[in-house]
Structure 1
Amino acid sequence: MKVAIFSDVQGNLPAFNAAIDRILAWGPELVVMAGDLINRGPSSLACLERFDTLRRSHGWLPVNGNHETWIQQCGREPPRDALAAEMRRFADWTYQQIAPRLDALVDWPDHLCFHAETEASWVHVTHGTLASNRCGISDRVPDADLRGVLPQDVALFVTAHTHRPLERVLDGLPILNVGSVGSPFDGDPRGSFALLRFERGAWRSEIVRFAYDRQQAARDFDDLGFIEQGGPVARILFEEWKRARPLMSGWRSDFEPAVLAGERELSAAVGAFLATLG
């Protein structure tokens, strides 16, 4: 059995198209999208429509990510004040973009399980862990923090969310983080996804890194309005994509508190934060 699993496209259509071509050429029997297809990038609607077409034509399966959850919440709940509206403007921009196709997000599960020809071959796929789709697994998470938030009696646990590919084992359970198609955070700008084969009674996994047209992706951030219309925080997200490194945690710890306290204006604070990056 051949299975492809990918995640965290983040509205990056050139990367998604390149991943699709690679996956279709490999010819898997099952393809799972493990969340965060949308948001943080300029082409959420196009990515959603492309995935929905593959879901209908090839049986590709979705799993909810935290960004699917959040964007739909943004559509239901207005921002509490003007500052909150400005800080989440990129997300509300994404919601307006995908609003005509919200039907394509209906009934996405938080978890998905499948198996090969034996009952001992169950695979559990989710965006984070059993605790939350915002609870990612990296090499820094202690084993003790993972006990109790992973399923039992499965042959393989597949996760995403951190934008970093990873393979580790906890108490005999293999864990596979498939990384990110559209916005890796490990310093390698190439996208990633995972290929699984069930051979000789066990799952064999491979992380695939692939190049795509990053010049077109950069133009999309500008040409499609994400930078101009997404508010100041969109500039940080674009810089994360360019550097293939996480930046939001630094923003939130060192600059956002002063903005929330009314001590600094948002756009100026974002500019000052970006200036510290060199």
Structure 2
Amino acid sequence: MTGQHEQREEREQREEHGRVAVLSDIHGVLPALEAVLAEPEVAAADRIVLTGDIAAGPQPSEVIELLREQGDRVLWVGGNADRELVEYRRGERTEIPDPIGPFAAGALGEGQVDLLAALPRTLTLRVRGLGEVLFCHATPRDDEEVVLADSRPERWAEVLTGLPADTGTVVCGHTHMPYVRLTHGRLVVNPGSVGMPYGRAGAHWCLLGPGTDLRVTSYDIPAAIARLTAECAYPGIADWADCYLRARVTDTEALRAFGPRDGRAPDAES
């Protein structure tokens, strides 16, 4: 299987794709994922790339199975939350920072744990109009360090060190806030979060090729909250769903919390 995976990855890197939909930080929210997959341009995309934190949330097993049903058109990249679920299930850690993490880890089947464990940390594709595009979760070198839309140039130079010269675009996730910015001659794209958006409700994603198009899919959030509350056994699921599906964490609050983790001075403005 490893040889087949490597051969497929080599083929993907050689082939140029016209349209690529990027879904990040689904966090086990099935109604949000269903809404994005129903978008005509997602259905028509050459590939769907997942940039990590796929399952850590209220419906981890259901989200994984729906994505697997999409077949080889979906390309998976792992995030820190996916890694934490695997480590917890395999006894390599005794706690997870996100309170819902242990519940999500316990809800996974063994095959799903194995799938998450095998996910690559980066993926490179050729996309029409953008050339070589590197997909990762947080940064190309680490699945949980922080860079933000307003991170200083020196920070970007640090986290992008060592990338091939022909990698003109980097697509990441992790911070749950969408942005596009140019830094050191490379375009950096964060599609935001499908399942746990900060700052603005809706399922956020991105369409690549030939440009970069940040998208947000509206869906019936009260109905989704009611559905999660009825179908998920996590204690406090109603409050969890109300907080994250309604995006009660503002972008200002998120930037204030994340800011010190990108290495800026503690008194720097976000």
TM score, norm. by length of structure 2: 0.76
Match of 2:64 among 36, 48, 56: 48
Q: Provide the residue aligned with 2:221 in structure 1.
A: 214
Q: Which amino acid aligns with 2:185?
A: G
Residue 67 of structure 1, CA deviation: 0.9
Distance 2:92 2:115 in 1: 22
Identical counterparts, % of pairs = 21
Is the 2:146–2:175 contact (alpha carbons within 8 Å) kept by the matching residues of 1? yes
Cα distance in 1 for partners of 2:239, 2:119 equals 30
Matched, 1:64 2:78: yes
Per the alignment, residue 131 of structure 2 pairs with 121
1:99 deviation in Å?
2.6
Counterpart of 1:194 (choices 202, 206, 211) is 206
The question of whether the paired residues in 1 share the 8 Å contact of 2:198 and 2:249 is answered with yes
Give, as a single letter, the amino acid of the residue that structure 1 aligns with 2:101: A
Shift in alpha-carbon separation, 1:116–1:108, aligned structure 2, 3 A: same
**Paired residues of 2:125 and 2:132 also in contact (CA < 8 A):** yes
Deviation string for 1:89-108 (max 9, x for gaps)? 62221111113432432421
Could you tell me which amino acid in structure 1 is paired with residue 63 of structure 2? C
- Residue of structure 1 in register with 2:268 after alignment: none
1:208-254 superposed Cα distances (whole Å, 9 cap, x missing partner): 11101212321244223454277xxx956752443341679999xxx
> Could you say what secondary structure the match of 1:8 adopts?
coil
Aligned-partner Cα distance in 1 for 2:128–2:204: 27
Structure 1 gap segments, 5+ residues each: 199-203, 252-278
Picking from 21, 28, 35, the partner of 2:38 is 21
Residues 61-70 or 147-156, more deviating: 147-156
Report the 3-state secondary structure (helix = DSSP H, G, I; strand = E; otherwise coil) of the residue aligned with 1:181. Answer: coil
**Which structure 2 residue ranges, 5 or more long, are not aligned?**
1-17, 258-270
Does the alignment pair 1:102 with 2:113?
Answer: yes
Q: Deviations over 1:169-195 (max 9, x none)?
A: 111111111111111112x10111111
Structure 1 residue matching 2:83: 3-state secondary structure = helix
Which of the pair is proportionally richer in helix? Answer: 1
Counterpart of 2:10 in structure 1 is none
2 CA distance for matches of 1:245 and 1:134? Answer: 19
Cα 1:161–1:237 change in 2 (3 A) is farther
Does residue 31 of structure 1 match 2:48?
yes
Of the structure 1 ranges 134-143 and 161-170, higher mean CA displacement relative to structure 2 is found in 134-143
3-state SS of 1:146 partner: helix
Give the conservation status (yes or no) of the 8 Å contact 2:127–2:208: no
Q: Return the alpha-carbon distance in structure 2 between the equivalents of residues 196 and 249 of structure 1.
A: 25
The number of aligned residues is: 235
Distance in 2, Cα, partners of 1:25 & 1:165: 18
Q: Secondary structure at the match of 1:122?
A: strand
Q: Give the corresponding residue for 1:140.
A: 150
Q: Of residues 171, 176, 180 in structure 2, which corresponds to 1:158?
A: 171
Report if aligned partners of 1:11, 1:38 keep a CA contact under 8 Å in 2. yes
Q: Is the 8 A contact 1:90 1:229 kept in 2?
A: no
- Return the letter of the residue paired with 2:113: L
Q: Residue 31 of structure 1: CA displacement? A: 1.4
- Report the alpha carbon displacement of residue 29 of structure 1 after superposing the two structures with TM: 1.2
Matched-pair contact (CA < 8 Å) for 1:63–1:126: yes
Q: Which residue of 2 aligns with 1:4?
A: 21
